[in-house]
Structure 1
Amino acid sequence: MLGTLTKRIFGSANDRRVKGYRSRVDAINAAEPEFERLSDAELKAKTDELKAALAGGKSLDDILVPAFATVREAAKRVLGQRHYDVQLIGGMVLHERSIAEMKTGEGKTLVATLAVYLNALAGKGVHVVTVNDYLAERDAEWMGRVYRFLGMSTGIIVHGKSDRERKAAYDADITYGTNNEFGFDYLRDNLKYDIRQMVQRPHFYAIVDEVDSILIDEARTPLIISGPLEDRSEFYNTIDTFIPRLTPEDYEVDEKQRTAHFTEAGNEKLESILGEAGLLKGDSLYDALNVSVVHHLQQALRAHRLFQRDRDYIVKNGEVIIIDEFTGRMMPGRRYGEGLHQALEAKEKQPIQPENQTVASITFQNYFRMYEKLAGMTGTADTEAEEFMDIYKLDVVSIPTNLPIQRVDEDDQVYRTQEEKYKAVVDEIRTAHAKGQPILVGTTSIEKSEYLADRLRKEGFRQRDLSDPQAAIKIGETEKGGKPAFQVLNARFHEQEAKIISQAGVPGAITIATNMAGRGTDIQLGGNADMLITEELGVLAEGEEMDAERKAKEAAIRERVAEAKKKALDAGGLFVLATERHESRRIDNQLRGRSGRQGDPGRSRFYLSLQDDLMRIFGSERMDGMLKRLGLEEGEAIVHPWINRALEKAQQKVEARNFDARKNVLKYDDVMNDQRKVIFEQRRELMQDEEVRETINGMRHEVVDAIVAKHIPEKAYPEQWDTKGLHDEVQGVFGIDAPVIDWANEEGIADEEIRERLKNAADEGAAKKVAKYGTDMWRQVEKSVLLQTLDHLWREHIAQLDHLRSVIGFRGYAQRDPLNEYKTEAFALFEAMLVELRTAVTGQLMHIEIQMREGPPPMPSEEEIDRLETHHIDPLTGDDDGEGELELAGAPDTGDAAEAREARAAKRAGAERSATDPATWGKVSRNEPCPCGSGKKYKHCHGRVA
């Protein structure tokens, strides 16, 4: 009560912070007339003036006002857009390492230019992170016009670029790209053997667009680079045959936690089944020798009982393709991890691809926390403010809208059954369409969007063909043969989603979308005139003059859109109709936020049933019984604010549980991250050094110390020394036949003397190698052996930590904290790895023989180059959201890496594949030329997602 009263008098903390920016906003507005009088050349010269001010000792905060005024004026001249006052505030929030929460349609893309330009003046590089390649390319081109006008360079990082192109993009003042590509480039850089091949600069400042999607939703999954293990297809198929033989009493499934495990009865039955199949080692299923078998049995159980075809994945052209649970998009080339995808392939009787071994990995949390400055923007962040502060130390600041929001958010309508709900949804769509209101129907999966589409077709609606390239333009045609037209925007049509969603505000348009398909693109009432102009008339080259004919055509399109907008406004604006609530309030808010852009009218309503997943999992049986007793008739809905509040509380519980899960994952990853930073920093230093002779010598002496300490214990008498063991180990490691036994028989000799003699003998052996092969050659050999051995052992160490992580939870049964146990054992493993590194490097260098040949050293084999892949695996659910093939780190960059890789793949495939017989093609890379001979890439031809 007191808090509410205080807030009314003094305003909330957010209100006070926003108010604090007003003085600088006023200063920028006061400077506007002065900047308007500048010529283009004088405005461009402001960039050099501001850089000089920084060089002279001023801070970025000191030059904020003139910098923002410069960008605002440049945007007016180049884009014809002027930053609103609230957008200036948003830019200040971004500059101050915070998250700007701005509603849909408030112009976040334009807001970013303010903070980007200001921080780019420091010359350290600014990264703008987006959720997909389309937005990265769109925003870089769109906003890049402003930066280029002001004399700044921009680069784009998207999948398929060569290292030379990536380095040029990172060297630009401003770099646009996706979260995956930035993270994978960091990992790639730390797999390379020449520092000149590394593409990224130190991480200075990043603005993350759709920050909730990237730092919350996608941050559940670490980025992983991996290579395949041996083929075990028969093993997976055998395991798959066991699951159908089990009954419901043999296992338990928890849909909330997405887990499945066997009961005691199931364990006994499986022991019998495995014994018959000859796969059981020892007497018990949970014998240590059966760990791998148990793991794959559990994955097969999950595949059969938790994952549904056409909801979690689809099967197409012999592949199991994941469906993203948030966007409903198909993710071709991406795979579930830890054997789950193989279990699904066995379940669906599809060809089984081998599992992968992790080569390098990092979580988004730990990647983005490397930036000196981090900021973000989104329409929905406030519900996750605690997590942003706890994990990233980011404040969330809600920016007022430019115009008051007029959207009406109606109470949920709850029906007893899904049948009643969908009938009400169809009736509501028909009513809204009849008055010309544009409708966006939100669904949670492809399966549900297509179910609704099927119902609409049966009710007399017509589905528009989205394979037509002109489909976006034709959305305005709302009737054909008297049938209302609708379009389904889900994973099957994701290539056109930005075009389709941009025209979803046309009067009478009915768009069924899976969750937030098309996120990042505004729904403008009447349609998006700029996108229609691009579709119908093409794009004018930068600097190209517009002729009279094009001016007339553009004016006609804009007039057409203006008329359509008036009709949509008269009909009540965009109606967001959701068919289900999501587990996260934030996703629901994203959907609602599609309506009511820039002060437009609109409305939103959620239609629910007690059979929906969220309602069912959180105990709808009691409510169903209550509604029956109250006499709720069939087809009648219950509508009350209390229902909304009850659902939001359920969602809050799920959000809290998910946050705890992500936080727990991060605590474990932080342990590995500390070690990863040490290894990656060490690698970088080694690559920067001209020679590593001093490091190698130190390793060699430490190995001698360790061997001597092992065979000559401290304070032991000479007769207690293991001189034969010492001799044999020295000979094995150093290749030296040292007379250790004779030394030990010398009168009065001490262990320290033997240690020094062995070091001298080892140093002499190393000196002979240098004399034999030459200083320059041996310098390269030392560095190469050290880096490759370090990489090999680090990969094995990652695998060991993964295995440790999978079993450390059982320590809790002994009343010991699993996290502390993990830290202790991970540190011991890391120390053991370093000991093994010293021994392995020393041994290899003392035994190595080099075959001299003319010409350059051989390149990595083509098979090795194509083996590494990038993945994005969820440690909680096993979902994989990776990016595909990876050029082998360390391979010389010719500037045409992507083309060279595709050419090699095509060359290898040529002798085996028939252009007319897809059955002979096998696994085709998404980026290699299509085997049919069309000349297109496979992903744009036979591999295209329909």
Structure 2
Amino acid sequence: MFARIARALFGTTNDRALKRLQARVPEVNALEPSLAALSDEALQGKTAEFRARLAKGEDLDALLPEAFATVREAARRVLGLRHFDVQLIGGMVLHEGKIAEMKTGEGKTLVGTLPVYLNALTGKGVHVVTVNDYLAKRDSEWMGRLYRFLGLSTGVIVHGLNDEERRAAYAADVTYGTNNEFGFDYLRDNMKYRLEEMVQRDFNYAIVDEVDSILIDEARTPLIISGPSEDSSDLYRRVDEVVKRLVEDTTTFDKDEKQRTANLTDDGSERVEQMLREAGMLEEGNLYDFHNVTLVHHVNQSLRAHVLFARDVDYIVRDDKVVIIDEFTGRMMEGRRYSDGLHQALEAKEHVTVQPENQTLASITFQNYFRLYPKLSGMTGTAATEADEFAEIYKLEVVEIPTNVPVARKDSDDEVYRSASEKYEAVIKLIDEARTRGQPCLVGTTSIEKSELIDALLKKRGIPHNVLNARYHEQEATIIAQAGRPGAVTIATNMAGRGTDIQLGGNAEMLARQETGASEGPEYEAALARHKAEVEEARAKAKAAGGLFVIGTERHESRRIDNQLRGRSGRQGDPGASHFFLSLEDDLMRIFGSDRMGGMLQKLGLKDGEAIVHPWINKALEKAQKKVEARNFDTRKNLLKYDDVMNDQRREVYAQRRAFMQAPEVAETVAEMRRECIEAMVSAAIPENAYPEQWDVAGLEEKVRDQLGLDLPVVAWAKEEGIDETQVRERIEAAAEQHYAAKAANIGPDLMRVVEKSLLLQIFDAVWKEHLLALDHLRQGIGLRAYGQRDPLNEYKSEAFALFNAMLADMRERVTSVLMRLELQPNAPPPMPEPVRVMDMRHPEPAMGEMALAGGGFEPAPLLAPPPVAEGVNPSDQATWDRTPRNSPCPCGSGKKYKHCHGRV
């Protein structure tokens, strides 16, 4: 009650924020007449003036009114667009590092130019993050005209650019690009071997367009860069044949659609074991013996592929590839692959080429990537429902910006039918009625499968229409731009982040661009004038018919996605309507709704073909959506808690790596590693306060030989009177220093410095990647600790810290061992080129919310002569390899230690 009284007296937090910002709008408006009187040259000169004032110590907030007024005047001259007062408020919200929620059609792209220009004046760069390449290119070209007019440079980062092009784009004042490209460039930069090869510069300020889609929907899984590992494609195909026969009997597995899991029953385990034996894949023991763990993994992934993933819903098959469909936007996600062998299982299921599995080289979540920016802001039409998550994860406040003109859309109550066929019959009937009166219709579906079902029903009735889903991705902007023409019917999968407004009557600019293939020039202007007259006539007809009619054929798991669809209608005060249809067979109602709902509706007297509109149904539906939203929030929060542990380590590793690259030489670092390595060896063999007879001097002598390549009489030293651990260590250190100095003199000091740096970075990368695999294995089983009344997260933190220390110790050992044994080939060319990597960029399985890091060992390129093999070992005779000491290089020549290669237990 007190909260209601306080809101009535003082307004909400949002009202107070708007009131404060509204007070600055008259300052901007007051400058408009004087700026309008300036010539183009004088207006362009404002940029240099602002930069000079910043250099003298003035801050950005003081410049805001003048900078915003300058952008508004420049936009009027260059783009023919003038910022509304509410758009100025939106720009202020973005400049303050908050999220501006603005309804569809309120001109968010134009709003972004205000804070972008102001913050770009510092010369530190501004990133504008979009959801797809089309929007990045379109916005950089469209708004780039404005920035170039004002003397700012613009770059765009899209798929397929080389490093030079990327570096130039990042060096620009304003850089447009997709969230994936920005994230992958960060990871790739931290795998480079020279500072000058890196493409990104220091982070400054980012504006995220469709911020809910990027920071919420896509944040459930990390970005992963991986390299190829062993090819097991044949095993996937053979297992698929077995599982395909197994799932014909539904008693062999349990499926939980709510949790998206599938497991074999006891009967299923017995049957699959028998089938694998018959197929010759299970040769000894039972299925769950330790040595058959790989086979179990393949069976489980194949089972998931068959019972949880549906073609044309979760993925499509195109050009001999399985392409994932984004569940939130309905777009194809080219280049992304499900992780942990699931994608290979789907490829085997669909009989396309099975690509090799990958191992992780680098990984980061969007949460931790975007938190690297000192200042972050975002804009979207729907953020309020996720305001708590934005505040908790990103410390971002959501401010709802009022519309320029009041919304005139009429939103009808949902209609609920008993069966899907009855629902679709009602949908087709309503589409036909609207089209007959000349009202444009946008029909929203949740999957390709559903959109093609509506497509077939409309074709059967002879109703002309366009289909927009992942199959017609390329025509997206064209179809959406003309979806507002009188009587047009457009079927679209989820409307998140389309970025192209549906304008009543059509989009004259898009028609002119299509006709001329340009976006400026005399030919374009002539075509634009012609199409504007045509569009105005069509707009009047569409408005008279009631404006855009949004028809939802199903409710999405998230209320936000439904609001995005509904928000396509009623832009800028246009008339419009929205109507959602549901059935008890819809996934949301079936999986998350009440099991008794169908029976209850029958008792209420719901007959075939009849719809029910009841507050109880709407409440149950909203409850189901909230349940799913809460589950997804928990998934993202849980992922972030574990990734924060890795993120601390990632930051440390990347900072150390950069320090190595920046240093002119790493000779002192290498020497320190050598000393620490020797100290660890001696401490392990000669414990503190131990008697000489307790010393393991024989083991120490062998270790010195294996790791340092030195043949020292450590056993003889131990027999000397009064010798202690310190003297033994000093003698080994002196011998190692002498040996290393002689090697450096022989190779040449300059060349030795190059070799040291190159090897240090390569080995650092190798141990870091192996550490990622170890963390992944730890992460997968850590949840079981809860059964022992221990907190899995605390256990993960503790063990991850121990693994990190072990990784650093392993790196010191490897660097010391390789450099002490180093032998360059006579007349060898100067090293060291960067190792060639075949890399795959993935953002795996958004629908499953798994961390899914794969692993393996990335080893330095074989640029050096292999170190000498142990005594008595013949590299060409595998029977002698078991004499190799565990920490020595494997005789096979892989470059790995014997214990990590052919000596693996």
Give TM-score, length-normalised by structure 1: 0.88
Structure 2 residue matching 1:21: 3-state secondary structure: helix
1:178-257 pair list within 5 angstroms: 178-243=178-243, 244-245=245-246, 247-257=249-259
Going from structure 1 to structure 2, the CA distance change for 1:815 and 1:264 (only over 3 Å counts) comes to farther
Deviation at 1:857, TM superposition (A): 4.9
Separation of aligned partners in 1, 2:766 and 2:801? 18
Deviation at 1:316, TM superposition (A): 3.2
User: 2:423: which partner in 1?
Assistant: 421
1:874 to 845, 848, 863: 845
Once the two structures are overlaid, the 10-residue window that deviates more, 266-275 or 682-691, is 266-275
User: 2:552: which partner in 1?
Assistant: 578
CA contact (8 A) 2:320 2:352 kept: yes
Separation of aligned partners in 2, 1:754 and 1:859? 39
User: Identity over the aligned pairs, expressed in percent?
Assistant: 63
Structure 1 residue matching 2:808: 3-state secondary structure: helix
Give CA-to-partner distance per residue, 1:506-540, whole Å, 9 cap, x none: 01000011111771000000001111111123425
CA contact (8 A) 2:367 2:394 kept: yes
Deviation at 1:849, TM superposition (A): 0.8
1:824 and 2:803 correspond? no
User: 1:45: which partner in 2?
Assistant: 45
Going from structure 1 to structure 2, the CA distance change for 1:404 and 1:668 (only over 3 Å counts) comes to same
Deviation at 1:736, TM superposition (A): 1.2
Separation of aligned partners in 2, 1:250 and 1:424? 39
User: 2:111: which partner in 1?
Assistant: 111
Once the two structures are overlaid, the 10-residue window that deviates more, 54-63 or 265-274, is 265-274
CA contact (8 A) 2:218 2:846 kept: no
User: 2:143: which partner in 1?
Assistant: 143
Going from structure 1 to structure 2, the CA distance change for 1:121 and 1:181 (only over 3 Å counts) comes to same
The one-letter code matched in structure 2 to 1:6 is A
2:504 to 520, 525, 537: 525
User: 1:902: which partner in 2?
Assistant: none
Separation of aligned partners in 2, 1:880 and 1:317? 28
1:100 and 2:100 correspond? yes
Give CA-to-partner distance per residue, 1:308-345, whole Å, 9 cap, x none: 12222223343222222222233344321111111112
1:557 and 2:536 correspond? no
Which blocks of at least 5 consecutive residues in structure 1 are unaligned?
462-484, 883-887, 891-946
Separation of aligned partners in 2, 1:711 and 1:582? 64
1:435 and 2:437 correspond? yes
Going from structure 1 to structure 2, the CA distance change for 1:229 and 1:685 (only over 3 Å counts) comes to same
Structure 2 residue matching 1:505: 3-state secondary structure: coil
Deviation at 1:288, TM superposition (A): 3.7
The one-letter code matched in structure 2 to 1:170 is Y
1:492 and 2:459 correspond? no
1:775 and 2:754 correspond? no
User: 2:295: which partner in 1?
Assistant: 293
Separation of aligned partners in 2, 1:354 and 1:813? 36
User: 2:80: which partner in 1?
Assistant: 80
CA contact (8 A) 2:116 2:174 kept: yes
Structure 2 residue matching 1:226: 3-state secondary structure: strand
Give CA-to-partner distance per residue, 1:476-533, whole Å, 9 cap, x none: xxxxxxxxx2111111111110011011000100001111177100000000111111
Which blocks of at least 5 consecutive residues in structure 2 are unaligned?
854-858, 862-905
Structure 2 residue matching 1:359: 3-state secondary structure: strand
The one-letter code matched in structure 2 to 1:384 is E
CA contact (8 A) 1:525 1:565 kept: yes
Deviation at 1:127, TM superposition (A): 0.4
CA contact (8 A) 2:408 2:576 kept: yes
1:712 to 675, 686, 702: 686
Once the two structures are overlaid, the 10-residue window that deviates more, 627-636 or 27-36, is 627-636
User: 1:166: which partner in 2?
Assistant: 166
User: 2:458: which partner in 1?
Assistant: 456
Give CA-to-partner distance per residue, 1:345-386, whole Å, 9 cap, x none: 222233221110001111111100000000000001110111
Deviation at 1:88, TM superposition (A): 0.6
Going from structure 1 to structure 2, the CA distance change for 1:676 and 1:335 (only over 3 Å counts) comes to same
Structure 1 residue matching 2:403: 3-state secondary structure: coil
Give CA-to-partner distance per residue, 1:394-431, whole Å, 9 cap, x none: 00110000000001111001111111111101110010
Deviation at 1:878, TM superposition (A): 7.0
Structure 1 residue matching 2:354: 3-state secondary structure: coil
Structure 1 residue matching 2:601: 3-state secondary structure: helix
Structure 2 residue matching 1:522: 3-state secondary structure: coil
Separation of aligned partners in 1, 2:610 and 2:107? 41
Separation of aligned partners in 2, 1:424 and 1:875? 33
CA contact (8 A) 2:193 2:761 kept: yes
Deviation at 1:695, TM superposition (A): 0.5
User: 2:347: which partner in 1?
Assistant: 345
The one-letter code matched in structure 2 to 1:11 is G
Going from structure 1 to structure 2, the CA distance change for 1:263 and 1:175 (only over 3 Å counts) comes to same
1:511 and 2:490 correspond? yes
Separation of aligned partners in 1, 2:782 and 2:517? 59
Give CA-to-partner distance per residue, 1:152-179, whole Å, 9 cap, x none: 1111111111111111111111111010
CA contact (8 A) 1:425 1:607 kept: yes
Give CA-to-partner distance per residue, 1:249-286, whole Å, 9 cap, x none: 33211111111122333334444444555655885544
User: 1:632: which partner in 2?
Assistant: 606
Structure 2 residue matching 1:437: 3-state secondary structure: coil
User: 2:652: which partner in 1?
Assistant: 678
Once the two structures are overlaid, the 10-residue window that deviates more, 499-508 or 318-327, is 318-327
CA contact (8 A) 1:334 1:880 kept: no
1:767-916 pair list within 5 angstroms: 767-853=741-827, 857=831, 864-865=836-837, 867-874=838-845, 877=848
1:688-767 pair list within 5 angstroms: 688-767=662-741
Structure 2 residue matching 1:170: 3-state secondary structure: helix
Deviation at 1:581, TM superposition (A): 0.3
Separation of aligned partners in 1, 2:145 and 2:826? 54
Structure 1 residue matching 2:610: 3-state secondary structure: coil
Deviation at 1:783, TM superposition (A): 0.5
Structure 1 residue matching 2:24: 3-state secondary structure: helix
2:332 to 303, 308, 330: 330
The size of the alignment, in residue pairs, is 855
User: 2:879: which partner in 1?
Assistant: none
CA contact (8 A) 2:100 2:400 kept: yes
Deviation at 1:623, TM superposition (A): 2.1
1:538-549 pair list within 5 angstroms: 538-539=517-518, 541=520, 544=521, 546=522
1:371-410 pair list within 5 angstroms: 371-410=373-412
Going from structure 1 to structure 2, the CA distance change for 1:517 and 1:395 (only over 3 Å counts) comes to closer
Separation of aligned partners in 1, 2:215 and 2:221? 10
Separation of aligned partners in 2, 1:51 and 1:34? 20
1:245-324 pair list within 5 angstroms: 245=246, 247-274=249-276, 285-324=287-326
CA contact (8 A) 1:871 1:881 kept: no
Deviation at 1:716, TM superposition (A): 1.1
Going from structure 1 to structure 2, the CA distance change for 1:444 and 1:642 (only over 3 Å counts) comes to same
1:669 and 2:643 correspond? yes
CA contact (8 A) 2:341 2:357 kept: yes
Separation of aligned partners in 1, 2:8 and 2:76? 38
The one-letter code matched in structure 2 to 1:376 is G
Deviation at 1:744, TM superposition (A): 1.5
Separation of aligned partners in 1, 2:334 and 2:48? 46
Going from structure 1 to structure 2, the CA distance change for 1:880 and 1:392 (only over 3 Å counts) comes to closer
CA contact (8 A) 1:99 1:397 kept: yes
The one-letter code matched in structure 1 to 2:424 is Y
CA contact (8 A) 1:167 1:198 kept: yes
Give CA-to-partner distance per residue, 1:124-182, whole Å, 9 cap, x none: 11100001111001111111111111111111111111111111111111111010110
User: 1:896: which partner in 2?
Assistant: none
Deviation at 1:640, TM superposition (A): 3.1
Once the two structures are overlaid, the 10-residue window that deviates more, 667-676 or 37-46, is 37-46
CA contact (8 A) 2:559 2:625 kept: yes
Structure 2 residue matching 1:62: 3-state secondary structure: helix
